[in-house]
Every structure is written in structure tokens, then in C-alpha cells.
Amino acid sequence: MALDNSPSTATGYIQPDIDVRALAAVLDGEYAGIRDLVRSNLGTHASVLDEADELGVDAFRERVREIVVEMAATGQTGMGFPAEYGGGGDVGASIAAFETLAFGDLSVLVKTGVQFGLFGGAILHLGTERHHETCLPRLITGELMGCFAMTETGHGSNVQALGTVARYDPARQEFVVTTPDDRARKDYIGNAARHAELAVVFAQLEVDGRSEGVHAFLVPIRVDGEPAPGVRIEDDGRKMGLNGVDNGRIWFDGVRIPREALLNRFADVSPEGVYESSIENPNRRFFTMLGTLVQGRVSVGGAGVGVAKVALAVATKYGARRRQFEATSGAEEQVLLDYGLHQRRLLPLVARTYALHFAQDVVRSHLHDVFSGIEDDAQARRRLESRAAGLKALATWHATRVVQECREACGGAGYLAVNRFAALKSDSDVFTTFEGDNHVLLQLVAKGLLTDHASEFEDLDQLGTVRYLTNLAVETVIERTSAHKLLERVRDLLPGGDEWDQEAGLRDSEYQLAMVRFREEHMLAGLARRIKRGIDQKRDPGAVFSQVQDHVIALARAHVERLVTEAFVDKVRAMPEGDEKVALALLCDLFALSTIEADRAWFMEHGRLTVQRSKAISREVNDLCRKVRPVAVDLVDAWGIPPEMLRAPDLVG
């Protein structure tokens, strides 16, 4: 029997009736073709989900390698490489493929990312024709396996301080690569423990006794399956998850590589030992090199969204069939998803997943345009790097939170390994800290905002940025972000004049956007003022920055959430009229209002939310949950997750 908890019909509200295929087409967008190829490949290799549980670490690593190579043969993993070397020549498609691959086993995903994204991407973007010709054709097929040896035990986040050294020996026209101490050993390097023959090694380049900063080199680390002379490799051993990826540690003991092994797109050393670079400033050079690797963050962010989708698909389907407790006398037990609490737990997460999906679309397009030369200037690259960093952080934290909530929402059944949660939880956990620790990434985002993405920023290291803040930028930011100007802009768009934040309809997208924009601008101005005050008091800039770090993180979050909200609103506006648009509009409101609700304390503290309106937003979120409930299963079906990837026959069956 139906409970009286359907949304009020007094307002003439008509429930949308979703065409799942039509909605799926909206979500897949221009990359439906490559996504379907990946779905088909996932289906072909579906047994890997069982094998992850059943095989020992060694056998599972081999199995994952095998699958990666087989997938490579279908063209799936080479989309990002130029056609002339056997690639697909479509950067956007390569990201879309990776996002879709995240529906499956995550060791396969991460090994794919290591081989084609990190290793292949570094050679593509930091190397030149000589490296491309010798490496790309063989690495695209998976014949040449490699690794990306950047992180060291002592340095993960602060890459500029790496300890590995590559000293140029003009007599023999070779570099000598050395690990000076154990803190400088390469660590957590995927593909290193077993499969990599070649490594892209990041090291401090020394030429003629002078340090030129971190550069990348091609170093053979394994010959016929054995470590190359002078190379020591140690297995990182079992990890929380991703045990199909062979992470390891590498030490170099005076390993000699030819002069041509320097990936020399941005800098080179002449045979005689003269260092030359097209980029004068060392910091700018370093960040330019790093910037070419931005696709890694875009990929991981997209994978986070994919992981969230799998978890939510399982939990939503379970919630729509599992019954527990009689709700009304004499009735059958009630379906979980008809409980208000259960809706509250899952449906805002579905909405946020949609929001992140559309934000990922924007970043992927941006990446495609920059790396296809469609829109490629320094400003565009900075914006892309900031967006990629911010979205990676929010999407991967979202994945962690969603997997946890969904597991709990499936109770004890969700704890069995035969369901997806065990693997999702342990495998995706590291997403929040690899390809950049999320907190460090958000600080980068905030610094970009504080310095207004000034081009000077490129020339600054960590400490330099702090110093820079003492100068021009903060003043400019304070000026630019005056709440007054923002409010003027809002006033033109919303009814109510100065009272816009009291008068506008809660479900008016302009209201929602005005709120998240106000928050960001206000936080930015406030933070800039606080830093300026500290500096004016002659306090140590590092200490000032440390004390406002929580504001820094809050600002970056607010910034990314504004971008995500805009992406969702834009998407809905651009859709043709119809039930799918109605459904996504509900979901967009649910996302925007639950986002505002989550930070309602801030809005009240800053005069943008009255107590009454704050409570009204919570009621509206509840009402939206009830309206989304009837289409919840359609919404998760539209993600097009291959059924085998949901596993969990007892939960979703």
C-alpha cells in the first residue's frame, strides 16, 4: 500500500516520466561511442571482479596486466596519443574512456592510468620526436611497460624538493642518476615492482656543478625481467587495495643514461654540457612541465565520479526493493527508499553525483581544447589546472563519502566481498591523496584565486607565493571582490532588489547561483584581508598562512562548488523541454539547495540567510527528495553501468 509521503499534489505538480535511454544519451554526450566500447570491454573481462578476490597478489597482478594489454588492442586506452603513433588522436575521448573504465575493477583502471596516462603522457608531453618514435608505438600496445617515478619516500606533495640527482658527465655525454639517501628513494611507484622496463624518472638536474631543478629522464630499470645494473627495486607489498597494481620502490646507484634520455621538450643539455631552456625562470619551467600532466588529475576526478555512480546504483536499487519494519498496521514491511531518512541519505548524493558529472564534462572539454590546440594560452592552462585540481579534490572526497554511506545503507549484506563495496572502498581510498593530496590541491586552487591567476604566479615556488601575497595581489583581490559590486550584479537578475536573498524563489537557479557566488567572493575578500592584516603587522608570512589555512580550504571548496553549480545549471538550461529536463531540474535544485543547506551556518553568519529561510531550505530539500524518489532508479540506470559491474546479485537482483 502506498504511504502518504508523496510530494504534495496540491500545487499541480506532475511527476516526470524519464526515458532512461534518452537521459543516458544526454550523459554520454559526444563520447557515447568510446564509452560503449569500454562498457563492452568491461563486460568481456567481468570475471576480473571475482579474480580480484580469488587470486593471490602475484597472479592477480599478471591478470590485470593481461587485461590492460587486451583492452589496449581494442584502441580503448590509446585515444589520447597522436594517430601517427597508433593512437586515437582524441584527448577528450581518452578521458571519457577512463571515466567509464572506473565502473569496473579499479586495479585495471589504475594500471591503465599508470601506463598510458602517467608514463605515456610524460613521454608525450615532456619528450620530443626522438622519444615519441622509439617509445609511443610500443607503449600504446602495452608491449613496452613503464612507470612514472616522481614521488619519493620523503617527498610526495613538495615535488620541487625531490632528492634524486641526475648529474651530466660531458666526458661521456651521459647523465648519472643517483639516489643520495633512503628518503630520496622513489616510492609507491605503480608498475615498478614487476612490469616496468622503462621509467620516467624525475630528478634534480646538475650541469657543470649547478642545479637546474627537477627534470624528467628515461631510465631503463629492468632488462629481461631483472633490475638493470645499478637499479635496486623493492616491492611496496600489499596495500589497502589496488593489489593488481605492482607498486614499488626504486634506488639508483650511479646509473648512466645517454644525453638523449632527457625528456627535452622544455629544456636540454648540449653535448658539451650547456644547459638551455625556452623558459627562463626555473619555477615557471617546473610548473610548465608539471602542468602538461594535468590530465592525470582530470582522469582521477572523473574516476571518482564513476566510483560514486557504482556505489549509488547498488544502494539505490537495494533501497528500492529491500523492506524492513511495518510502517502502517497490517501492511507489508516498508521499502527502505520510502523512508524519509533513507531518501535523505542517498538522494542528495545522487544529485551531487550528477552535478559532478556535468562539471567533469566542462573540465574534460577544457582539457581537450587546450591539448588539441583549440584554445591554448597560459591563462587557459592556469584555469584548467585550477579547475582540474579542485574538481579532483571534491570528486574523490565525494566518492569516499558515497561509498561509505552506500555500504552502510546496505547493512551487513554490503559488507560481503561478493558485493562491490569492499573493493570500491579499499581501492578508491587512495584517490583522495594520489595525483596530489586533496588538501594540497585545494590550497593551490585558493592561491590561484588570491593571486588572481596572475602570470607572475608561474614564476613562484610555494614560499614565493606567500611572499607575493604581501604585495600587489591581495590589494587587487580586495578591490575586485567587494561585496558591493557583486550585489549590484545580483540585483539586476533577481526580484526583490536589496532583499533578493529574502524574496527570490528557493528553486530559482539565479538565486542559488547568487548564493554560491556571494559565498566565494566574500570568502576570497575576507581571506585576502586577513592575510594583508597579518603582513601589515610584520608577522611571518608562513605563520600567517598557516593560521588561515582552514579559510583557504573553505574558499577553494566554495570556488569549486560554484563552478559545479554553474555547470549543472547550464546543462539543464541547454536541454530541450521534456520530462528529462524536468527531472534534471529537480535534481539540480536538490544539489544546489542541499549544498547551501550544508553550509547554512556560513550564510547565516554572513547575513545572507535568515533563520526562517534556512529552515525553509531544509524543508525544500526534504520535499525535493520525495519528488526525486519515484525516478531514483531511472536516474542511476541512466549512468549505463554494465549490470555485471554491479555484481551484488542479492542486493540489486
Task: Find the shortest distance in angstroms from Cβ 347 to a copy of itself.
Answer: 12
Active site residue 499: no
> Which CB, 137 or 541, lies closer to a copy of itself?
541
Q: Which three cell numbers stand for residue 268?
A: 636540454
Task: Find the shortest distance in angstroms from Cβ 575 to a copy of itself.
Answer: 31
> Which CB, 88 or 534, lies closer to a copy of itself?
534
Task: Find the shortest distance in angstroms from Cβ 84 to a copy of itself.
Answer: 36
CB atoms under 10 Å from CB of 137, counted, come to: 17
Task: Find the shortest distance in angstroms from Cβ 518 to a copy of itself.
Answer: 16
By DSSP bridging, strand 222-223 and strand 146-149 are: unpaired
Task: Find the shortest distance in angstroms from Cβ 118 to a copy of itself.
Answer: 14
> Which CB, 215 or 425, lies closer to a copy of itself?
425
Q: Which three cell numbers stand for residue 1?
A: 500500500
Q: Which CA distances in Å does 517 have to 163, 464, 514?
A: 42, 29, 5
Alpha helices in 606-648 (DSSP H): 611-628, 632-637, 643-646
> Which CB, 43 or 237, lies closer to a copy of itself?
237
For residue 213, give the nearest of 290, 272, 100 by alpha carbon. Answer: 290
Q: Please report which helix (H) or strand (E) contains residue 479, including its range.
A: helix 472-480
- Specify whether the CB–CB gap between 315 and 410 falls below 8 A: yes
Which residues, in sequence order, are CB contacts of 440 under 8 Å at separation 6+? 157
Task: Find the shortest distance in angstroms from Cβ 157 to a copy of itself.
Answer: 5
> Which CB, 403 or 638, lies closer to a copy of itself?
403
> Distance between CA 390 and CA 438 in Å, rounded?
8
Q: Which CA distances in Å does 472 have to 386, 467, 477?
A: 21, 10, 9
Q: Please report which helix (H) or strand (E) contains residue 425, including its range.
A: helix 421-428
Find the angle CA(236)-CA(62)-CA(142) to the nearest 5 degrees. Answer: 100
Q: Which of 99, 212, 435, 521 is catalytic?
A: 435
- Specify whether the CB–CB gap between 475 and 553 falls below 8 A: no
> Distance between CA 448 and CA 381 in Å, rounded?
12
> Distance between CA 246 and CA 192 in Å, rounded?
6
Task: Find the shortest distance in angstroms from Cβ 47 to a copy of itself.
Answer: 16
> Which CB, 130 or 615, lies closer to a copy of itself?
615
- Specify whether the CB–CB gap between 300 and 392 falls below 8 A: yes
> Which CB, 128 or 281, lies closer to a copy of itself?
281
Q: Which CA distances in Å does 278 have to 288, 289, 577?
A: 11, 12, 52
Q: Which three cell numbers stand for residue 7?
A: 510530494
> Which CB, 20 or 417, lies closer to a copy of itself?
417
Q: Characterize 344-358 residue by residue with b for buried, 16 or more Cβ atoms within 10 angstroms of its Cβ, and e for exposed.
A: ebbbbbbbbbbbbbb
For residue 459, give the nearest of 232, 306, 286 by alpha carbon. Answer: 286
Task: Find the shortest distance in angstroms from Cβ 551 to a copy of itself.
Answer: 10
**Residues known to be catalytic:** 435
